[in-house]
A and B are shown apart, each in its own frame.
Chain A
Amino acid sequence: MQALLVVAVAPLLVGLMRQIRARLEGRAGAGVAQPWRDLRKLLRKERIAPRGTSEVFRAAPLVLVATTLVVAVVAPFVTTASAIDPVADLFAVVALLALGTVALALAGLDTGTAFGGMGASREMTIIALVEPTMLVAIVALSVRAGSTNLATIVSSTLHDPARLVSPASLLAAAALVVVIVAETGRLPVDNPSTHLELSMVHEAMVLEYAGPDLALIELASAMRLTVFLGLLANLFLPWGIATTATPLALLLGVLALLVKIALLGAVLAAGEVFLAKLRLFRVPELLAGSFVLALLAVAASFFLA
């Protein structure tokens, strides 16, 4: 059920963020449902793959969607009482998300075009810095909970909200925000609305995709954004999440999740209006900074506990 919710909401979240940006820039915007309309259009088109590409190119969109779906199923978004609780391990979730990125990077390389390779190389540079930061930041939170299971972390925060204002958790939150921005290809790391092929990161990798494959990738990208924001929301603002599987609690959980994701997305979109894209060589500096924050969070959670 969580997965269905994520699939349904993800394009709307992207639409909402675009709409907020458009309004803040004084444009009318295309409406919140536009990403869904785009997906419908793309899904109706025929499948087409460039000559010389292999199975890697064809499988990558599926892998990307599948890994994100698994995360959407297991991670504690609506409820901490997940059906397959043991999978919702911190390392498993981060690894699943990384697997999707790697599949896409391989597909970019598989096309054999200069842009695919360029995008893949840039994405790998970024992911090499993003993944450790994400792991370390969440580890900082797991120390107190005594488990790397995301549901346990969330419910332990729920029982003891005071620890949210601890230095460890604040530092980890700051680090996570930075890496999520980088991982989902938002400003100032990547510009999702550019048409300048030479400055793209994520878009350069998927330049050769068209039709239903492109729809899958667009959907998966939107889902990843939703998943990341959902994780961020529930790790640091767990209120409202269902701890039991009663219908009322679940409904409340769904509503709380929607509100939290929408708010985070709105803040992110509003922030983007005031940002410009960093020079590519400055991105590692930003990510290294966030890694230091995450490391400090771990240190703080041990020494200040």
Chain B
Amino acid sequence: MTEPSLDTLGALVGEHRTAVTIDPDELPMNARAALDAGFRLALVAGHDDGPWLRAVYLFTAAAPDRRIELHVPLDKSRPELPSLAGLSFPAGRFEREMRDLFGIQPVGHPAPQRLVRHFHWPKGWHPMLHDAGEPPAFGDVEGPYPFREVEGPGVYEIPVGPVHAGLIEPGHFRFSVVGETILKLKARLWFVHKGLEKLFEGQLPETAIELAERVSGDTAIGHSLAFCRAVGDAHGLTVSLEAHRIRAVLLEMERLYNHVTDIGALCNDVGHAILNAHAQRLRERLLRINDRVTGHRLLRGALHPGGVRIRELPNPVELRAVGADAAEIVDLALANTVVADRFTGTAVLTAEQANDLGALGYVARASGLAVDARRDHPIPGVAPPTTHAHTEGDVLSRFLVRADEISTSIELITQLTGQLGGRTDVSMAMLDPPGSTRSGVGIVEGWRGTIVHRVELAADGTLSRVKIVDPSFHNWPALPVALADTIVPDFPLVNKSFNLSYAGNDL
């Protein structure tokens, strides 16, 4: 068999997207060819097609925007795939997720422990299969899954969570430390599987948009826009430039309020509460602008698959005033020698580590990787913004990337509102049933990083499968790597500098 050529791989099935159906044996060869050609594994989804199962691997590449899908049908009696964990770290985690949800076994996986499976689900129950039914009563624990013990003189363990002192979602962290220095950290998440992807099934896209907005509370626009673009891709919709621009404005508004919050929270975590108080003031101001723009403080309800409807465009003058205040907070923080000392050199994630782990968003950009879906998978009619990269990979870089992106977002919003000239309602009629099964992919740079949604539509227009990949899924493994040799009291600060989503991760 010859090396597959990426140019002729399969038929065009959507926006910049080709798909090919292959046998399980051909998977590693094709995946290797894609990865070698600079593609990144953006999404792996299992599907229950009734008589058989199917795994879909989505590879994406930038400049130009290219997307390749590998479809691997699997026999339901023996659903096995050769593991790609040796080729790509994210692939290994996607395979574990798919195994837990669909029972598709990755053969030859080096660390085949459960990933998203709840600790107490009975063995052999896979929630995403069509015949899974209602969640069963918690049964026997599935096999032991011990933490790796670090041994040596003076080594001890600190278990933290899953219930924490603050109002945060559940996550169990186990630190192996000597004195105050972290030797190894293991984060175990996935305590609150919500069955979100299953909830999408059978719904019309017009109603499912509300679900997409609630994937992660602080990323309403990021996830719903990725969902809208995926549905649009599946329907072959041509969305007008105005609609694209208004959507881009909303996406940047979301980035603004979240980055401002993070800037303040990072200062608060080193005990510099006054800057947090001011950042909170700015956040409130931005939320009120959001309320005026969309009628909802967290920007819900504006997007729909065919277009977008807002009340008014944000006022660039007001946003520039907020931007100036945010810049002042950043300057004050870095002028404080103690704050600067706490940020600098703390928890370094090198570019190589970030690249190997498949990190995304500001985490990757703070380590010097220029990944940004706004540039890599541009929205038509929206000029890609300058991507800010800092190369140190420490808390300071993650702080500065956010600070830079605040001003860039404001510039972008100013530019877009100028182009729009007051247009606020770009709606389209309801979507017609496509008449055949379709698939679509939506890629959006949410404030945390690249969000990918892949939808499949049934002939009657209802959703038969929605797969969501939040950037947190890729970035969570980077946190323990960055924390090696950091001291325990710095963990909260480092954790905040990553600020990963539990909800977007544990669907």
A contact residues vs B (CB 8 Å cutoff): 21, 24-27, 114-115, 118, 122, 187-188, 191, 193-199, 273-282
Contact = CB atoms under 8 A, between A and B. Distances in A.
B345 to A, nearest CB: 10
A118 B271 contact: no
Interface stretch (B97-105, B128-136, B489-497): B489-497
B166 interface: yes
Given A26-B277, A26-B278, A281 B338 contact: no
A196 B266 CA distance: 12
A214 to B, nearest CB: 14
Interface in B154-173: 156-160, 164-166
Contact of B490 (A24, A122, A275, A279): A279
The residue among A115, A197, A198, A274 with the most chain B CB atoms within 10 A of its own CB is A198
A281 B274 contact: no
B274 A273 contact: yes
A283 to B, nearest CB: 10
Contacts of B493: 199
A27 B87 CA distance: 53
Nearest to B159: A114
B32 interface: no
Contacts of B274: 24-26, 273-274
B52 to A, nearest CB: 48
B270 interface: yes
B165 A279 contact: no
Nearest to A282: B341
Nearest to A203: B165
A188 B165 contact: no
Contacts of A280: 180, 487, 489
A275 B180 contact: no
A36 to B, nearest CB: 23
A280 B253 CA distance: 37
A276 B336 contact: yes
Given A114-B158, A188-B338, A279-B341, A197 B164 contact: yes
A277 B342 contact: yes
Contacts of B66: none
B271 A276 contact: yes
A195 B496 CA distance: 13
B269 interface: yes
A25 B277 contact: yes
Given A195-B166, A275-B338, 16 more contacts: A21-B273, A24-B274, A25-B274, A26-B278, A27-B277, A114-B157, A114-B159, A118-B488, A187-B271, A196-B165, A197-B160, A197-B165, A199-B490, A199-B492, A279-B342, A281-B487
A187 B272 CA distance: 9
A276 B341 CA distance: 10
B339 A276 contact: yes
The residue among B156, B270, B489, B490 with the most chain A CB atoms within 10 A of its own CB is B489
A276 B158 contact: no
Given A114-B159, A195-B166, A282-B341, A276 B272 contact: yes
A193 B488 CA distance: 18
**Among all A-B residue pairs, the 8 with the closest Cβ atoms:** A277-B271, A196-B492, A276-B272, A114-B158, A276-B338, A191-B271, A199-B489, A25-B277
A281 B273 CA distance: 21
Contacts of B338: 188, 275-278
Interface in B324-350: 336, 338-339, 341-342
Contacts of A198: 158, 160, 488-489, 491-492
A195 B273 CA distance: 13
B333 to A, nearest CB: 9
A280 B493 CA distance: 13
The residue among A122, A199, A276, A279 with the most chain B CB atoms within 10 A of its own CB is A276
B485 to A, nearest CB: 12
Contacts of A187: 271
A20 to B, nearest CB: 12
B281 interface: yes
Contacts of A118: 158, 488
A281 B489 CA distance: 10
Contacts of A25: 273-274, 277
Given A279-B342, A280-B487, A196 B272 contact: no
Given A26-B277, A188-B271, A279 B166 contact: no
A215 B450 CA distance: 49
Interface in B252-272: 267, 269-272
Interface string B134-162: 00000000000000000000001111100
15 contacts: A26-B274, A26-B278, A114-B159, A188-B338, A195-B165, A198-B158, A198-B489, A198-B492, A273-B273, A275-B271, A276-B267, A277-B270, A277-B342, A280-B180, A281-B487
A279 B271 contact: no
A193 B277 contact: no
A107 B467 CA distance: 50
A275 B341 CA distance: 12
A202 B143 CA distance: 39
Contacts of A199: 269, 489-493
Contact of B180 (A24, A191, A281): A281
B169 to A, nearest CB: 15
Interface in B268-320: 269-274, 277-278, 281
A273 B273 CA distance: 7
Contacts of B157: 114
A21 B273 CA distance: 9
Nearest to B337: A276
Contacts of B492: 196, 198-199
A21 B272 CA distance: 11
